[in-house]
Amino acid sequence: MKMKVIAMLAAFALTASAVQAQELPRKVQNVEVLDLDGKPAKLPYFGEKNLMIFYVDPDRHKQNEDFTIELEQNHRAESDNIHGFGVMNLKDAPMVPNGMARNMAKKRTAKNGATVLADQNRILSTAWALGDCNNQFVLMIVSKEGELVFLRKGELSDADKEAFYETIEKYK
């Protein structure tokens, strides 16, 4: 009986922390990750603009590729008030050497001018209580007031995409 109560309490605590981790909006702080040369870098325009952040596990970089291509082509998230960029979740991609992932990102950003940073130690996901981001494409919107106002992980459903577009409209 005692073990059953302990197990139930442990399950409740895990569920409560997972629910709390997903409550939005919630305040987040700027963090220091790395640029593509391995030098420390803060998240760009944090507190100055609304941020659209793609936090991507390189093992699943093509997850939601159709959505990102559509987003690039339809320009619905473009505004002087929004800065979009990517952060590679390198800690959860042990099969892709960090240097190789950075070099691939450098080649891509040279073509499209995008900003991409590297998180080698789950600094962003830990600081912002994102939960498990392994094998996940994580889409976030952070207001210029420093609040995480939108968060979706994994394969985006049509409802997720609609919720994203509704949220981004508020911050343009």
Position 119 in a domain: yes
How do beta strands 40-42 and 32-34 pair? antiparallel
Q: Are 33 and 43 in contact (CB under 8 A)?
A: yes
**For the chain, what is the mean pLDDT?**
84
CA nearest neighbour of 87 among 137, 147, 143, 145: 137
The enclosing domain of 101 has a CATH number of 3.40.30.10
Q: Kindly report the CA angle at 161 between 159 and 163, in degrees rounded to 5?
A: 70
Which structural domain, as residue segments, surrounds residue 129? 26-170
Q: What is the dihedral of CA 66, 68, 71, 72, to 10 degrees?
A: -110
Q: Is the residue at 87 inside a domain?
A: yes
What the block records as the tokens of 33 is 């990750």
Q: How many CA atoms lie within 13 A of 142 on its CB side?
A: 26
Q: Does 11 map to a domain?
A: no
In a domain, 54, yes or no: yes
HSE-up of residue 53 (Cα within 13 Å, Cβ side): 33
Instruction: Inform me whether the pLDDT recorded for 170 exceeds 60.
Output: yes
Number of domains in the chain: 1
Does residue 9 fall inside a structural domain? no
The answer to the question of residue 21 being in a domain is no
The pLDDT tens digits of the residues spanning 22-31 come to 689 999 999 9
- pLDDT tens for 117-149 read 999 899 999 999 999 999 999 999 999 999 999
Residues 6+ apart with CB under 8 A from 38: 102, 118
Residue 12 domain-assigned (yes or no) = no
Residue 49 pLDDT greater than 90, yes or no: yes
What is the predicted pLDDT for the residue at 10?
A: 47
